[in-house]
Amino acid sequence: MTINSVIGSILKDGNPFHISTLMFASAISGQGTPEQQEAWLQRALDHKILGTYAQVRAEVVTELN
């Protein structure tokens, strides 16, 4: 039994930790250097570290320029 299956059975509306796997680990895998991938990817996939995800609307960024 994995941690995801345990959490998934407890949290019937979804797993809030999936964002770490979906966004954080994917970013390391797709955009990280080989050194960064070696250092961080397996830890992220094993949930030994958790990442966060934030998104800013483009028009807000444009107003700051």
For the chain (length 65 residues), average pLDDT per consecutive 10? 65 69 87 96 90 70 55
C-beta separation of 43 from 35 below 8 A: no
Give residue 62's pLDDT: 58
Neighbours of 17 (CB within 10 A): 15
Closest C-alpha among 31, 36, 4, 30 to residue 18: 4
Dihedrals phi, psi of 56, to nearest 5 degrees: -115, 135
pTM of this structure: 0.58
The range of the structural domain enclosing residue 7 comes to: 3-64
